[in-house]
Chains A and B, each alone.
Chain A
Amino acid sequence: MPAIELTGRAAAPGLALGALYRLAERAGPRRVAGTPEEEAAALTTAIASASAALIAIMAEAEGEGADILEFQVAMLADDELAAPALAAIGAGIDAASAWRAALDEAIAGYRDGGDAYFAARASDLEDIRDRVLAALDDGEAGEPIVPPGAILVGRDVTPSLFLSVDWKAGGAIALSEGSPSSHVAMLARARGVPMVVGLGSLPTSGAAEAIVDGDGGRLILDPDARAKSAFARGAAGAADRAVVEAEAARLPGRLADGSPVRVLINVAEPEELDAIDPAICDGIGLVRTEFLFHSPGGLPDEETQFRAYRRMLEWAGERPVTIRTVDAGGDKPVPGLTIDGESNPFLGTRGVRLSLLRPEIFRIQLRALARAAPHGNLKVMLPMVTVPGEIEAATRLLDAAVAELAAEGISHMRPPLGIMVEVPAVAVVPDLYADAAFFSIGSNDLTQYATAAARDIAAVAPLCDAGHPAVAALVANVVRAGERLGREVSLCGDMGGDPRHLPALVAAGLRAVSVAPRLVGRVKQALAAIGPDGAA
């Protein structure tokens, strides 16, 4: 059978060959299975029916088996078990995804303790999880269990599905819709999962295997011998390139004339750092703390946040670490935090706007940050700042948190408070924001707002292009203001990790970028070929 090749848009680089795994149509973005009320009712009913099934089996069981069943029934009867899932449902997640995420979290907690008895209970919880999912199924597929190494094909993928897949075994994503600047694409780039979007309509059956070319934006269904050998050559070439890039990553970032450019990394979860040598970067330019807030267990407490921040600071040593306060909203809803049903979430209550609206939650994050500050070189960054008053308000809250910690005799430091420049209102008149300790340009949102083209709408995604000269002009404007005000300016969006855009950024005077860890070598290689005026 001849191979079918489809071309879309590259969303995350890399090559992968694997078994095709088709997502059901409903597994689209924020799979709206029903209203939150309907989803909550569906989950409650599924739990009751799983419980009834267990009780029926229990009547037949004896000894240890009966004890395990009794334990499972007791867990299902406890409202606490479903509470995180119900909270997630309230925030718009479908019942199956919410339940799976909540139980997976609990299961991991049981498994991680190093206690064999507890680890054994994890499988009892897995059983509970699957029984409820099956009950929820009711003729409709729940959130699928994706086999390791699979090529995920569908209309779109939710962040929760992405996070539920074990990508260590390989695999890739190919979508008929989607956008390279979606949240999932960001995750895919961070994790090194090749991803292609905007492939258009996909054949609904037939193919069993596929190749995803995340650099060329191609999906090859049922690759023939020729396509497979091209894949093998490509994979070998990529492996060679990876070696060269890994070497380049170890060198300092420099332009062709030898002048330095700082190259930092963007990080979401502390675990990502385990595989990275701090020597390859000049620090962490962006920590996306939303991921902490995505736990099905609800909003993270001060101690959880403190430990996560401290771990990153300790990893970085003396290198600076810029942690962004929670940037929920837009395409990143957080159950229990973001406001449901806003007509235009990207222009709504997101980023620092939300934090200032919920000072009781913001306060916990600011306390955790101030407590972590003595463990390294911390800088704190506010997202979505639009008016100088937001910096003032956040400064007051930070000062209050610091004063509280001092009064309580808890070790702390006051970190410098800077801002993310991602709203054109700031990028046009940056001098008005002199209260910020530093500027970090968030090119993804800045591009989206400058071009008035949503990052997650496939039809307009091509307009949302960081290559638009207006974006480089805004960057240049911020760099010049930074020089006038004596404030550091860096850029932490995807633009900085894209060799195509680096000449424009260098020409704009930018000398610090923060990129996905796996792009550090590529970026340093590209920079080394660029003159200080941006010319190759």
Chain B
Amino acid sequence: MAEQESTASVLLTHEVGLHARPSVKLTKLAKTYSSDIALATAEGGPWIDAKSIVRVMAAKAPQGTVLHFRASGPDADAALAALVSLVKRDFDEAGVHVSERSHAGD
């Protein structure tokens, strides 16, 4: 009865970690897939719904965290590939690091 489950992990390099903007992007992307997608900041969990920005923000993952994904459903593999790529691309927002750092710095 259990569907095939796919897993992937990727290093979070974004300077301020998994905060508001990256979380918005990640959950939006996750929602475009029909598979169930879970995220964890440690291999053993706890696993959280990667489509829930409330949960993803609450994970408070800092820079240097290894993000673990697992997905089950018809497009599980595609979803994981897209999510890993988004994290690797630093959420496409190299340009905003400076403003976020100044936000966090003082």
Contact = CB atoms under 8 A, between A and B. Distances in A.
Interface in A97-134: 106, 109, 113, 115-118, 120-121, 124
Given A116-B103, A116-B105, A78 B52 contact: yes
A121 B57 contact: yes
A70 interface: yes
Contacts of B53: 71, 74-75, 77-78
Given A115-B60, A116-B105, A80 B24 contact: no
Contact of B19 (A77, A81, A109, A117): A117
Contacts of A74: 23-24, 27-28, 53
Given A64-B99, A67-B21, A68-B20, A116 B54 contact: no
Contacts, number: 53
A80 B54 contact: yes
Query: Contact size class for B?
Result: 20 to 34
A115 B103 CA distance: 11
B24 A70 contact: yes
B54 A118 contact: no
Contacts of B19: 117-118, 121
Interface residues of A, number: 22
B54 A67 contact: no
B96 to A, nearest CB: 8
Chain A interface secondary structure, helix, strand, loop or mixed? helix
Given A64-B99, A68-B20, A120-B103, A78 B54 contact: yes
A384 to B, nearest CB: 34
A75 B106 contact: no
Contacts of A124: 20
Contact of B55 (A64, A80, A116, A120): A80
A116 B21 contact: no
A118 B105 contact: no
Contacts of A64: 99
Interface string A57-74: 000000010011011001
A318 B87 CA distance: 51
Contacts of A113: 60
Contact of A75 (B54, B60, B103): B54
Nearest to A64: B99
Contacts of A77: 53
Interface string B5-40: 000000000001001110110011000000000000
A303 B24 CA distance: 29
A99 B59 CA distance: 22
Given A113-B60, A117-B100, A118-B19, A81 B24 contact: no
Given A116-B106, A118-B60, A71 B24 contact: yes
B2 interface: no
B49 interface: yes
A152 to B, nearest CB: 32
Contacts of A117: 16, 19, 100, 103-104
Interface string B70-106: 0000000000000000000000000010011001111
Given A67-B20, A71-B21, A80-B55, A115 B104 contact: yes
Contacts of B106: 116
B4 to A, nearest CB: 27
Contacts of B27: 74, 78
Nearest to B20: A71
Given A74-B27, A80-B54, A121 B105 contact: no
Given A68-B20, A71-B24, A124-B20, 16 more contacts: A64-B99, A70-B24, A71-B53, A74-B23, A74-B24, A74-B28, A75-B57, A78-B53, A80-B52, A80-B54, A81-B54, A106-B54, A109-B58, A117-B19, A117-B103, A118-B19
7 contacts: A75-B54, A78-B27, A80-B52, A113-B60, A116-B106, A118-B19, A120-B103
